Amino acid sequence: MRSKGFRGGAHPPEEKHWTEQSSIQDLPLPEKVIIPLQQHLGAPAQPVVEKGDTVKTGQPVGKTDTFVSVPCHASVSGTVTAIEPYPHPLGMDLLSIVIESDGKDTWMNTFPADPRYMDLSVEEMKKRIHGAGIAGLGGAAFPTHVKLSPPPEKPIDTVLLNGAECEPYLTADHRLMLEKSREILNGLRIIMKILGVRKAVIGIEKNKPDAIQVMRHYTFSDKNISVLPLKVKYPQGAEKQLIKAATGREVPSQKLPMEVGCLVHNVGTALAIFEAVSSCKPLIERVVTVTGPGIRTPKNIRVRIGTPFRNVIAFCDGYTDTAAKIINGGPMMGIAQYTDEVPVIKGTSGIVVLDKKTATLRNEHPCIACARCVEICPMRLLPNRIANFAEYKHMDEALGLGLLDCIECGTCSYICPAKRNLVHYIKLGKALSSEKQMMQAG
């Protein structure tokens, strides 16, 4: 077995204690949901309902004919009251379908379990996964059916199931591995069948010994699946770092894991795959960690997609008196929100609320050339120099230093003694690079 680590990385405070012992609770049905038609990488879905329509839970409300895209579904039964741009966790207003719940939760289908689901053809399995609207639940939200369709010239020999959950505060994946372990493993076996793979590795950081024990218990007799305890280091859960730690293989610059025969899926995605293939259940809910010093009663909650953040936070007894900042995701890679009216989407792994002490704004100072960001960069980049070039729009130089290889993990910003917002500048550089490419193509 490989050494369980990778070069670089950092050790921010884990802050898992808020919710790691908190069993998953179901959020009561919200009075309304906001279903964005863009919850995934690729083309947005197109609405197939109109204002005034009555819909049932699980009914498609957005469909797509584009390969790199997924449909979306009503997460409650009720009436479509609006189809218009609405605040989105990614920081912009995007076209969304608003559904007022009737409180009945009437499902479109009953989704009975198919005891022979493993006998389905690979194409039928992928059809069910696509029809369920599954996109990666680890945060990237890449359409899952696309990820499960590598070209023939890129055969996969190893599947990695990502249970690292290295982002501070978040424990949703941890609780899923404890409470839905068998379903997750059945989802992993579906993935292995689709890809024709006989080897799978489940990577879990050592700060989750109970999850390691449970997963080892259920895979003890399966020689094709192993559980790999990983060093507790951020960003251990990034797919390139996980592949390096588990297999020793390095994904080439600007390439995908398939280049080295690997594919990585999050444990929550594996659960959604199992539910889609075994019973045709669409992705209308997910587990979200709601935590931080700004939350009165932190919890892990199963939430219907489209539920406004304010409803989820109210279920946790609301904000503390010192609450100051809401983050979609974790504090390292998450995005701060200007309103709690944004909805939970497929990629919402956590809602972290910081207090006035932990959310203190960083006052930037000039770079002191200490090279600490270079030392800990897990992608072996020069974050300080890339950020400098991006800040002043010298894009050729930034690209030449590997701008597009940055995984935006935030480790450089975290470690910087000058408190420079390095990831901010690198994200700006990527946006400017993309804009320049579009202008050249147009």
CB 98 within 8 A of CB 87: no
Sign of CA dihedral 387, 388, 393, 395: negative
**Helices (H), ranges, 326-382:** 372-376
State phi, psi for 388 to the nearest 5 degrees: -60, -50
Domain with CATH 3.40.50.11540 in the chain: 129-279
The class (CATH top level) of 129-279 is alpha beta
State phi, psi for 123 to the nearest 5 degrees: -65, -40
* Residue type, position 430, single letter: K
pLDDT (0 to 100) of residue 3:
44
pLDDT (0 to 100) of residue 7:
85
Report the number of secondary-structure helices (H) and strands (E) in the chain.
13, 17
pLDDT (0 to 100) of residue 1:
46
Tokens coding 4: 């369980």
pLDDT (0 to 100) of residue 5:
65
Tokens coding 365: 């100072």
Which residue do the tokens 């939350």 mark? 295
CB 208 within 8 A of CB 177: yes
pLDDT (0 to 100) of residue 4:
53
**The length of the chain, given as a count of residues:** 442
pLDDT (0 to 100) of residue 442:
61
Q: How far apart are CA 90 and CA 80, in angstroms?
A: 23
Tokens coding 337: 């929100």
Tell how far CA 306 is from the center of its chain: 16
**Helices (H), ranges, 164-308:** 172-179, 181-195, 209-219, 239-247, 267-279
Its pTM stands at 0.95
Give the relative orientation of helices 181-195 and 267-279 as an angle to the nearest 10 degrees.
80
Mean pLDDT in order along the chain per 10 residues (442 residues): 70 97 98 96 95 98 94 98 96 95 93 90 97 91 95 96 98 98 98 97 98 97 96 95 95 94 97 97 98 98 98 98 96 95 97 91 88 96 96 95 95 95 92 81 65
